[in-house]
Structure 1
């Protein structure tokens, strides 16, 4: 159960990061509201997961999931350009997140 909570928390990390970028320095209401709510859910989920997953592993997986989803979103929305190196690095990051889960 802790791993499911951690995955959801990692997803919510990407939600707050994307909302923060859309908030125009916290000047736009709805992106700011989404940022605040997603931040609370994300950090709360991380805290819950850390009750049974070691801190280093939980934090690395949480940030990895958030980073992977955020970069994929930016690529899909064409806010960033895709490159072979970027795709290979994302695949490597996915492998590292999976590896941390398997090693736990």
Structure 2
């Protein structure tokens, strides 16, 4: 259950980043409200998952999902650079996230 909550928290972290972009510096009300809601929800679910997962593993996975997911969606949706070295770095982040899941005792 903790891993599922952590995955949802990571997805909400991606939504948080996109809502923050679309809020244009908190100048647009609806995206700004979504930014606050997704950010708080993400941290809340992270905190619940950390009840059973080691803090280092949980935080690293949460951050990795958020960073890699945001970068991938940025390339797909916003036209961010998809240079091979950038993609390689994202793959390495995802490999670290998967690796932490496999070596975790939970």
TM-score by length of 1: 0.96
In the TM superposition, residue 30 of structure 1 has moved relative to its aligned partner by 1.2
Equivalent in the alignment of 2:8: 8
CA distance in 1, matches of 2:102, 2:60: 14
Match of residue 90 from structure 2: 90
d(CA) in 2 for partners of 1:17 and 1:78?
Answer: 13
Distance of 1:10 and 1:77 partners within structure 2: 18
- Which ranges in structure 1 are unaligned for 5 or more consecutive residues? none
1:27-46, CA deviations, whole angstroms, 9 ceiling, x for partnerless residues? Answer: 10111111011011100000
Matched, 1:73 2:73: yes
Change (3 A) 1:78 1:16: closer
Q: How big is the shift at 1:79? A: 3.5
- How does 1:23-38 map onto structure 2 within 5 Å? 23-38=23-38
The count of corresponding residues between Structure 1 and Structure 2 is: 104
Cα distance per residue 1:42-73 (max 9 Å; x no partner): 00000000000011110000000001110011
> Unpaired segments of 5 or more residues in structure 2?
none
| Other-structure match for 1:48 | 48
User: Distance between the aligned counterparts of 1:98 and 1:85, measured in 2?
Assistant: 20
Counterpart position of 2:39? 39
CA shift, 1:22, in A, is 1.1
